[in-house]
Amino acid sequence: MSLLIPAIDIIEGKCVRLTKGDYTTQKIYSSQPLSIAKSFEDIGVKRIHLVDLEGAKQKKIVNLDILEEIASKTSLLVDFGGGIQSTSDLESVWNAGAYQVTCGSIAVINKPLFVEWVQKYGPEKFILAADVRNEQVAINGWQENSQRSIYELIEEYKEIGIEYVLCTDIAKDGMLSGPSVQLYKRILSKFPHLKLIASGGVRSIDDLLEIRKNHLFGVVFGKAFYEGKITLESLKQIL
């Protein structure tokens, strides 16, 4: 059964959402990320996807204190991404309480460093983030095409033991237009043992249930919750 993984995206310490990764579309939903995290914990959510959007843009971790607060004051397993550029960055994230780290552009741009991390800490500690547009992986805040397909990227990192992959369809992100179920089916047909996490486009409880039918490891969702289309009560029922 697919895990339901709420996303908490942070800019200036606040919960925000972007549309298609565009920072000019930023909308603030809460100034209390810890309260949001606790509300998920209270209904039985086990893990969250915490993204330092500021860090991703500035290429340095900015909101480490939010990670530390949520990790120390809840029992949630936190996967964290955004702004991790060096081994010292990574160690600060582990020390702040992250359960896993999500790595995207760095895995494409600096493979030797990412491989070094995986070998040092173990592949189970990492989620490979693949942001795709027409099955091509985009990097650097989705602005640049890496000229590599999602399948090539997964194949490359499968060889060093990476099992967890978070796949976001850029065209769907923040659009509330339904998830890319067919894309996920194609990925799993090629990599049936992959722990694939869907992201982008979720608009309702029905979408979460649809993804569950397709045997993905998990599904990340955000905007549908913050816009009230998925409620805590409805989530509790399917948890």
Q: What CATH number is attached to the domain comprising 148?
A: 3.20.20.70
End-to-end Cα, the chain, rounded Å: 10
Ranking 57-61, 77-81, 114-118, 174-178 by mean pLDDT, the lowest is: 174-178
* Overall domain count for the chain: 1
Name the pLDDT band for 3 (thresholds 50, 70, 90).
very high
Q: What would the two tokens of residue 27 be?
A: 């909308």
Distance between CA atoms of residues 184 and 197, nearest Å:
9
Mean pLDDT (the chain) is 93
Q: What would the two tokens of residue 23 be?
A: 């920072």
Q: Is the pLDDT of residue 139 over 80?
A: no
Q: b/e map of 131-170 (b: 16 or more CB within 10 Å)?
A: bbeebbbbbebbeeebebebeebbeebbeeebbbbbbbbb
Distance between CA atoms of residues 78 and 157, nearest Å:
22
Instruction: State the residue range of the domain holding 47.
Output: 3-238
Distance between CA atoms of residues 57 and 63, nearest Å:
12
Ranking 29-38, 110-119, 163-172 by mean pLDDT, the lowest is: 163-172
% of the chain residues with pLDDT over 70: 97
Identify the H or E element spanning 87: helix 87-95
Query: How many degrees, rounded to 5, is the angle at CA 132 between CA 97 and CA 209?
Result: 70
Residues carrying an active site annotation: 9, 131
pTM check: above 0.85: yes
Identify the pLDDT of residue 140: 63
